[in-house]
Amino acid sequence: MIAGRFAPTPSGLMHLGNARTALLAWLQIRRLGGSFLLRMEDIDGPRSRPDYAEAALRDLRWLGLDWDEGPDRGGPRGPYTQSERHALYEQALERLRGQGLLYPCYCSRAELAAVASAPHGLASEGPAYPGTCRCLTEEERRERALRKPPSLRFAVPPGRIVRFDDECAGPQETPPGAGGDFVVRRADGIFSYQLAVAVDDAAMGITHVLRGSDLLDSTPRQLLLLEALGLAPPRYAHVPLLMGPDGKRLAKRHGGTSLQALREAGVRPERVVGLLARWSGLLERAEPVRPRELVEAAAKRPLPALPIVVREEELSGMLEG
């Protein structure tokens, strides 16, 4: 049974970059005839807001995307909101702990920052953790625990190389040690993105993950967790990001790119989808189109392989109607 998902983090308004990832993930599953799920990734409570979660659903519906299961409509694999799935993450930690794969880390932010000059780990995760707390004695742990509550790290087998085939980015191979031991639960008790996503994708029976290439570096970590938990990995496709006219990743600072702002400015959703489709190589020209009308083209064309630089005129043209 094929299943895919879009998994927004409700820490801000959806912008064109998120919308494009959502569209491509939706098209992949619709053309394969699978189930499309919406999962709200509010695992980082302090950064998440319910109104952003609401806005994400509204924006996606406005674009013409739909989902078979999600926080608003339920389904057999729910709950679909990470803050309601803590018991699953806790169970996963228990299993990893039972295998001796976790250890407490007492390093402060300053100590971790000092590692920044060391050889780099996986780019999106900062420098590789050098394993400072991995081999502390019980006594050292007790002594450090008096000063600071620990985070929990996953102990990556030394020298371990992770390989996988990305449907968009091609064959991938991590450096030995797979980027260092990584956090699965923060010192403030919040489960890490890596843990929550790996557990959720497996528990929800996700077979296809399509997401932005900013998360390519996270995949080896999720694969290591899945392997340790005895869970089957999905297939991965990491699509290149949309870049703003300044060559930097399209984001809020480029202004007017949130779907809410576009809608409020009177832009029609078909026009937005047309541009997203052109930026993804699905249309020759950015003509107004509904997501459904792109399913056939998506079946014939390969996933976009290169980052797209969004031109100023394209953004302003959309606002001018």
Which of 7/228 has CB closer to ligand GLU? 7
Task: Compute the residue count for the chain.
Answer: 321
Rounded to a whole number of angstroms, the minimum distance from the CB of residue 239 to ligand GLU is: 11
Q: Which of 3, 4, 9, 207 binds ligand GLU (CB under 6 A)?
A: 9
Stretch that binds ligand GLU, among 7-15, 113-121, 250-258, 296-304 (CB under 6 A): 7-15
Compute the least distance from the CB of residue 108 to ligand GLU, in Å: 26
Query: What are the distances in angstroms from CA 32 to CA 55, 85, 210, 303?
Result: 28, 28, 13, 14
| Residue 129 among known ligand-binding residues | yes
Question: x/- string (CB under 6 A) for ligand GLU, residues 215-254?
Answer: x---------------------------------------
* DSSP-assigned letters across all residues of 150-218: PEEEE-PPTT---EEEETTTEEEEPPTTTTB-EEEE-TTSPBPHHHHHHHHHHHTT--EEEEEGGGGGG
Q: Is 107 annotated as a binding residue?
A: yes
Piece in contact with ligand GLU (CB under 6 A), picked from 2-10, 54-62, 162-170, 179-187: 2-10
Place of tokens 């509010």: 42
**Nearest of 287, 283, 252 to residue 268 by alpha carbon:** 287
Residues 28-47 that bind ligand GLU (CB under 6 A): 41
Q: Answer yes or no: is 135 a known binding residue.
A: no
> CA-CA distance, 110 to 292, in Å (whole number)?
50
Burial class (CB in 10 A: 0-12, 13-18, 19+), 60: buried
Piece of 6-14, 108-116, 173-181, 251-259 that binds ligand GLU (CB under 6 A): 6-14
Instruction: Tell me the DSSP string of 37-87.
Output: EE-B---SGGG--HHHHHHHHHHHHHHT---SBBTTTB-TT---BGGG-HH
Nearer to ligand GLU, 21 or 174 (CB): 21
Does position 7 interact with ligand GLU (CB under 6 A)? The reply is yes
Q: Hey, how many other C-beta atoms are within 10 angstroms of the C-beta on 113?
A: 12
CB of 7 to ligand GLU, least distance (A): 4
Look at residue 111 and give its three-state secondary structure.
Answer: helix
Tokens of 304: 């976009």
Q: How far is the CB of 308 from ligand GLU (least distance, A)?
A: 18
CB crowding 171-187: b at 16 or more within 10 Å, else e: ebebbebbbbbbbbbeb
- 8 known member of a binding site: yes
Cβ proximity to ligand GLU, 7 vs 303, nearer residue: 7
Residue at 125: amino acid letter: E
Our CB check for ligand GLU shows the closer of 132 and 213 to be: 213
- Residue from 8, 179, 234, 240 touching ligand GLU (CB under 6 A): that is 8
Tell me the backbone φ, ψ of residue 188, rounded to 5 degrees.
Answer: -85, 10
Nearer to ligand GLU, 107 or 210 (CB): 210
Q: Was 164 annotated as part of a binding site?
A: no
Our answer to whether residue 252 is catalytic in this structure is yes
Side by side, which strands form the sheet with 163-166?
35-38, 3-6, 208-212, 235-239, 163-166, 170-173
Is 168 known to sit in a ligand binding site?
Answer: no
- Nearest CB to ligand GLU, comparing residues 52 and 106: 52
CB of 96 to ligand GLU, least distance (A): 19
| Catalytically annotated residues | 252
Which stretches of the chain bind ligand GLU, using CB under 6 A?
7-9, 41, 197, 211, 215
Specify binding-site residues for Zn(2+): 105, 107, 129, 133
In the annotated binding site for ATP, the residues are 252
